[in-house]
Structure 1
Amino acid sequence: MPELLTQNNLMFLFAFTAGMVSIIQLLEYLVTKNIPWLWRIVRQLWRKIRRSIGKKADDGYVQRHILNFSGHPVSPGQQQAIEKHMHWASSSVVDVRLGNVPEDNNFAAAITKAIERAGLSHEEWQTIPCVAVPAGYPAVWSVILAELHGRLGHFPDVARLRPTQPGASEKYEVAEILNLRELRHASRSKR
């Protein structure tokens, strides 16, 4: 027993304990303070894995996105209707969760951060065809349109939803796809 309590053994025991405590505190900090950051990395990795598995090089697979800003899930029927209107074989829905948008000076910054969380790279924004399902709040939608125009280099196509007949399985259906680029070019002649 006396050899366990020597100065070298006590120093080693204290150093080991201090190291273990600091590692535990670091892990606790990373997990509790950085959950959104860690979750974003995991989500982006999962999307990249899913996209790479979904690509079929020999079948001429072209990736297409439905960007959902509405805050409600895009139903399979709505997704199929958008694919039919756009003549797409398949598409993937990217839910951009806006949450509660603050009604203060950081209005646009909060929306920009939400769009950043979509996890699309610069190349994907500029090369992958997309259709946007709009947010219901006009001020939010105007900021989203400006942000998308900056990222895409043009206005996106927009899915216009309308209420369905009473008794239908879905509450909203896709009425049409608005091609904002064509509308813009047509209105330029009216200057």
Structure 2
Amino acid sequence: MLVLNYSHPLTQEQRTQIAAHCGVSSLEVRDLLAQIDRARPLADIAQELANAADLTPEAWQTTPIILNPPALAPVALALVAELHGRCGGFPTMLNIRPVAQSVPTRYEVAEIVNLQTLRDAARGRRI
């Protein structure tokens, strides 16, 4: 299982939560910088972010990938579109949320969302 992390570094606790959600004993996490120049076209940025993962065309299509997207929504959406093209479908992604009433604020893995499954279910609701 490969986690492409374009957000804050994942804690050991979060890594353990991801592994438990996925039912795996080990993860490979690639921390990838997502600081971008907003004056540049999103398509170029998305391509560069995907290239930073350093995967072959075969690996994009065969490696089980979980995406921790960049926090900036337009960049995240452009990256998802780029990954869809490379993988042949939508990626699975992390949903990380604050732990209620934690002081200082801590974050936990709320769920792992298969975006392709969401898309397929939505397709059935198309009228």
**TM-score of the superposed pair, with normalisation by structure 2:** 0.90
Q: Residue type of the partner of 1:129? A: P
Q: Secondary structure at the match of 2:96?
A: strand
CA distance in 2, matches of 1:110, 1:179: 24
Q: 2:58 matched to 1:114?
A: no
CA distance in 2, matches of 1:189, 1:91: 33
Work out whether residues 161 and 173 of structure 1, in 8 Å CA contact, stay in contact via their aligned partners in 2: yes
**2:11 match:** 75
Q: Secondary structure at the match of 2:71?
A: coil
- Unpaired runs of 5+ residues, structure 1, are 1-63
Q: Secondary structure at the match of 1:67?
A: strand
CA distance in 2, matches of 1:154, 1:107: 20
Displacement of 1:115 after TM fit? 1.9
Identity among equivalent positions (%) equals 37
Work out whether residues 78 and 173 of structure 1, in 8 Å CA contact, stay in contact via their aligned partners in 2: yes
Cα deviation digits, residues 65-93 of structure 1 (max 9, x gap): 011011x1111111111111111121100
CA distance in 2, matches of 1:111, 1:182: 23
Aligned residue pair count: 125
CA distance in 2, matches of 1:179, 1:114: 20
Displacement of 1:110 after TM fit? 2.3
Structure with higher RCO (Cα < 8 A, 6+ apart) = 2
Q: 2:68 matched to 1:133?
A: yes
Q: 2:25 matched to 1:89?
A: yes
- C-alpha change, 1:127 and 1:107, in structure 2 (3 Å) is same
Work out whether residues 95 and 111 of structure 2, in 8 Å CA contact, stay in contact via their aligned partners in 1: yes
Q: Secondary structure at the match of 2:24?
A: coil
Correspondent of 2:93 among 124, 143, 158: 158
Task: Please identify the structure whose Cα radius of gyration is greater.
Answer: 1
- Unpaired runs of 5+ residues, structure 2, are none
Displacement of 1:105 after TM fit? 4.3
Q: Secondary structure at the match of 1:145?
A: helix
Give the number of the structure whose residues are more often helix, by fraction.
1
Provide the aligned C-alpha RMSD in A.
1.5
Q: 2:66 matched to 1:66?
A: no
Work out whether residues 49 and 79 of structure 2, in 8 Å CA contact, stay in contact via their aligned partners in 1: no
CA distance in 2, matches of 1:96, 1:115: 9
**TM-score of the superposed pair, with normalisation by structure 1:** 0.61
**1:4 match:** none
